[in-house]
């Protein structure tokens, strides 16, 4: 029994301990697991070396039942192929062999990130206010600060702290590269965050393109620096993340989620809210939050598709080993 317990508490390849979890009563180790409900396979996936450790057969069955119930009740699809699905179920990342009857919803996690930003921003503001109070108290005690000076410091301190944190996080430039105005041909090498109101977003099929007004030609919805594809996606993500440094309230995130649902998913949102080219302030508060979630999902979906393809390759190799270890002669479909 001691040997069996140690087999699924440590990675069979690198001997690292699997992290504990409280999601499954009969499998209290591993934060990423893989299972095949048809063949009764169960693996723990090591975070350190990415290798799969097959759980001994006598320890699988109750855990498999628990895992299937957890996936059914709480599972959210992140990405999938014809053979494997990567899901989030409670605190676990789950690789399920076979198609899961769940809609792909990677985007909902980014709403949580916006809520966390709001809480971090609140703490930064409080820190700035406390710092101002200490500075004012010290200066008054020595007679070095007037009432007007104290008022200015009190009003500006939270903004200075949060502004400094935002500058450290993002810098001053949302995009830097080699570009030129499509009208006059003059070079444009950067998009500054301070110039974000002169950026136009427009929907092209299922993605967002960026147009930046040329400082020489002026405002023109058809001329300027044009960014497309992944270059545009990255610029939009950075611009919106900078703009939403203070995060978003629970209510606004929920309204943004409903807007995404009404549009038919993140990939269809740009054409829904950008039926015509719009500047940042024209998109609206809820629309901007929804757009940030959508463009982040486009980026994440591309990364997840690569990850799930790699997971499928791992599964094919580990299934061959599991078939031998379980003493079966089943032929893996190709």
CB 61 within 8 A of CB 40: yes
Lowest mean pLDDT among 52-56, 141-145, 285-289: 141-145
- 223-256 pLDDT, tens digit per residue, is 778 888 888 888 888 898 888 887 778 788 888 8
Average pLDDT over residues 86-98: 87
CA angle 120, 20, 14 (to 5 degrees): 110
For residue 73, the model assigns a pLDDT of: 85
Q: Which residue's entry shows tokens 């993605």?
A: 207
Q: What percent of the chain has pLDDT over 70?
A: 74
Give the contacts of 220 (CB within 8 A, at least 6 positions apart). 183, 213, 214
d(CA 62, CA 279): 55
Instruction: Please report, for residues 160, 161, 237, 239, 240, the alpha-carbon distance to residue 170 in angstroms, rounded to integers and kept in the order given.
Output: 15, 14, 12, 10, 11
* Distance set, CA 11 to CA 47, 50, 51, 109 (Å): 9, 10, 8, 29
The answer to which of 81-95, 104-118, 173-187 has the lowest mean pLDDT is 104-118
* pLDDT at residue 253, as a whole number: 81
Q: What is the pTM of this model?
A: 0.56
Handedness of CA 247, 103, 303, 88 (dihedral sign): positive
pLDDT, residue 35, reads 92
Q: Which residues contact 327 (CB under 8 A, 6 or more apart)?
A: none
Tens digit of each residue's pLDDT (9 = 90 or more) over 280-320: 889 988 988 888 888 887 777 777 777 888 888 888 888 88
Instruction: Select from 292, 250, 251 the least CA-distant residue to 119.
Output: 250
Q: Specify whether the CB–CB gap between 240 and 295 falls below 8 A.
A: yes
Per-residue confidence at 128, pLDDT binned at 50, 70, 90? very low
Q: What is the structure's pLDDT at 164? A: 61
Average pLDDT over residues 51-70: 87
258-280: pLDDT as tens digits: 888 888 888 888 888 888 888 88
* pLDDT for position 133: 44
For 7, the enclosing helix (H) or strand (E) is: helix 2-9
């Amino acid at each position: 029994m001691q040997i069996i317990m140690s087999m699924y508490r440590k990675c069979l390849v690198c001997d690292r301990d699997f992290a504990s979890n409280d999601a499954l009563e009969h499998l209290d180790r591993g934060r990423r697991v893989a299972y095949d409900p048809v063949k009764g396979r169960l693996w723990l996936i090591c975070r350190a070396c990415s290798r799969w450790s097959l759980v001994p057969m006598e320890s699988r069955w109750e855990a498999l039942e628990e895992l299937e119930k957890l996936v059914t009740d709480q599972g959210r699809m992140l990405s999938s192929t014809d053979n494997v699905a990567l899901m989030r179920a409670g605190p676990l990342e789950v690789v399920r062999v076979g198609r899961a009857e769940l809609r792909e919803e990677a985007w909902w996690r980014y709403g949580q990130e916006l809520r966390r930003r709001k809480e971090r921003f609140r703490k930064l503001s409080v820190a700035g206010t406390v710092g101002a109070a200490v500075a004012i108290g010290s200066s008054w005690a020595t007679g070095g600060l007037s009432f007007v000076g104290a008022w200015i410091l009190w009003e500006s301190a939270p903004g200075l702290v949060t502004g400094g944190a935002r500058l450290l996080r993002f810098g001053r430039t949302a995009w830097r590269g080699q570009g030129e105005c499509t009208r006059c041909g003059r070079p444009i090498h950067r998009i500054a965050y301070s110039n974000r109101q002169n950026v136009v977003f427009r929907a092209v099929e299922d993605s967002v393109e960026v147009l930046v007004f040329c400082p020489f030609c002026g405002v023109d919805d058809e001329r300027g620096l044009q960014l497309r594809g992944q270059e545009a996606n990255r610029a939009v993500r950075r611009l919106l993340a900078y703009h939403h440094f203070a995060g978003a309230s629970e209510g606004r995130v929920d309204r943004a989620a409903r807007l995404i649902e009404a549009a038919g998913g993140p990939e269809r949102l740009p054409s829904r809210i950008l039926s015509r080219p719009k500047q940042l302030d024209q998109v609206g508060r809820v629309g901007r939050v929804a757009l940030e979630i959508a463009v982040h999902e486009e980026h994440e979906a591309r990364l997840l598709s690569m990850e799930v393809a790699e997971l499928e390759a791992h599964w094919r190799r580990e299934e061959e080993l599991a078939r031998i270890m379980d003493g079966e002669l089943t032929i893996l479909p190709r």
